[in-house]
């Protein structure tokens, strides 16, 4: 029901039956994803340390791993492992000038992410938090989680006016026998004090990107009840219609990353665009249906996408001619 309202599908004068039937609920995501993908590859993608190592070995640009906070017996080949406050302090002070971003190794939608702003010999300060000692940071903030630490990246200058922190492009990937098909692309733009680009964070924007040209086609924001479509960026004109830099390179890098993880037939990547070019931040085992539909204002189940899922044994109840949608009967 939340998605039904947020997409505006209750407005019967806004959608045809065919358009309504193209929407698919995010509640069906995991069931459809597991139908398409080789289950043994789940951890390969969702473990950020492992995925980064594999992508890097495949010559895909990724953020450098500075270290991993992990007190378990696990070993991370070639990566500094942090288990004590002294080790954390030494790594932070050595890398602070370039910025440090941390995220949970197997986390999703940016929950628990942090950005270290300042630090000295006794305390560190993360964006939005009071100063903490290194001991209290490990005990109270990190807790039992495992974190990967990377340098903070900076948006390309063309994107800088429209995002307060690192923006990423979500490429929806269908890996087929003849290559990688991307039916939808969305750029997520963090706003205000938000340190991450997830659309659920208040004020953040998401824009559909033309897959062929890299041009911004929409500007959306998650309103109280429905997704709001803006004519342009609310504060800085010029976002609508902007052609993203390095777009051809981004598409090539996305395809290479997708093919390295080809047993994950339905997947998505999150790719930052820096001044030096695209950098793959994450590769996801699957990818929510909600974000592409919210940002584009239309359903994901085009005939091509429906055919892909059905070729992997997925079955959808209700065709448009039966006046059904995947949210339920009209």
The CATH number of the domain where 192 resides is what?
Answer: 3.30.470.20
What is the model's pLDDT at position 269?
A: 98
What is the model's pLDDT at position 328?
A: 46
- Is residue 20 domain-shared with residue 75, that is, in the same domain? no
- Is residue 71 domain-shared with residue 118, that is, in the same domain? yes
- Residue holding tokens 């109270």? 140
- Is residue 242 domain-shared with residue 299, that is, in the same domain? yes
- Is residue 43 domain-shared with residue 175, that is, in the same domain? yes
- Is residue 171 domain-shared with residue 131, that is, in the same domain? no
- Is residue 18 domain-shared with residue 141, that is, in the same domain? no
User: Domain range holding 53?
Assistant: 2-60+156-329
Q: Which helix (H) or strand (E) holds 67?
A: strand 65-69
One pLDDT digit (tens) per residue for the chain, 330 residues: 999 999 999 998 999 999 999 999 999 999 999 999 999 999 999 999 999 999 999 999 999 999 999 999 999 999 999 999 999 999 999 999 989 999 999 987 678 889 999 999 999 999 989 999 999 999 999 999 999 999 999 999 999 999 999 999 999 999 999 999 999 999 999 999 988 888 888 999 999 999 999 999 999 999 889 999 999 999 999 999 999 999 999 999 999 999 999 999 999 999 999 999 999 999 999 999 999 999 999 999 999 999 999 999 998 865 433 433 444 443
**Planar angle of CA 253, 258, 261, nearest 5 degrees:** 130
- Is residue 249 domain-shared with residue 185, that is, in the same domain? yes
Contact 320, 215 (CB under 8 A): no
- Is residue 317 domain-shared with residue 172, that is, in the same domain? yes
- Is residue 38 domain-shared with residue 170, that is, in the same domain? yes
- Is residue 163 domain-shared with residue 227, that is, in the same domain? yes
How many structural domains does the chain have? 2
Helices (H), the chain: 2-6, 17-21, 29-36, 42-46, 48-57, 85-95, 134-136, 247-260, 290-296, 303-311
How many angstroms separate the CA atoms of 325 and 328, rounded?
5
Q: Is the pTM of this model over 0.85?
A: yes
- Is residue 23 domain-shared with residue 169, that is, in the same domain? yes
DSSP-derived letter for residue 243 is B
């Amino acid at each position: 029901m939340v998605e039904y309202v947020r997409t505006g599908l209750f407005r019967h004068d806004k959608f045809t039956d065919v358009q309504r039937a193209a929407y698919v609920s995010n509640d069906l995501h995991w069931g459809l994803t597991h139908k398409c993908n080789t289950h043994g590859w789940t951890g390969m993608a969702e473990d950020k340390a492992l995925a980064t190592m594999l992508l890097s070995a495949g010559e895909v640009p990724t953020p450098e791993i500075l270290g991993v906070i992990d007190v378990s017996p696990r070993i991370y080949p070639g990566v500094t492992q942090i288990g004590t406050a002294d080790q954390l302090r030494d790594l932070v002070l050595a890398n602070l000038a370039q910025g440090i971003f941390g995220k949970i190794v197997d986390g999703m939608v940016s929950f628990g992410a942090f950005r270290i702003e300042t630090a000295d010999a006794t305390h560190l300060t993360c964006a939005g938090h009071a100063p903490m000692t290194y001991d209290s940071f490990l005990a109270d903030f990190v807790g039992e989680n495992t974190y990967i630490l990377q340098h903070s990246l900076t948006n390309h200058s063309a994107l800088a006016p429209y995002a307060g922190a690192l923006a990423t492009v979500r490429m929806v990937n269908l890996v087929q026998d003849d290559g990688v098909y991307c039916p939808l692309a969305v750029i997520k733009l963090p706003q205000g004090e938000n340190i991450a680009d997830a659309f659920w964070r208040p004020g953040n924007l998401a824009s559909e990107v033309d897959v062929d040209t890299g041009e911004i086609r929409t500007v959306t924001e998650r309103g109280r009840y429905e997704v709001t479509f803006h004519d342009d960026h609310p504060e800085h004109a010029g976002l609508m219609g902007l052609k993203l830099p390095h777009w051809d390179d981004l598409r090539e890098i996305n395809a290479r990353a997708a093919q390295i993880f080809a047993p994950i037939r339905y997947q998505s990547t999150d790719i930052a665009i820096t001044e030096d070019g695209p950098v793959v931040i994450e590769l996801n085992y699957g990818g929510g249906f909600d974000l592409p539909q919210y940002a584009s204002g239309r359903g994901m189940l085009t005939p091509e996408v429906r055919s892909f899922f059905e070729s992997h044994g997925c079955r959808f109840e209700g065709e448009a001619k039966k006046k059904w949608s995947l949210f339920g009967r009209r």
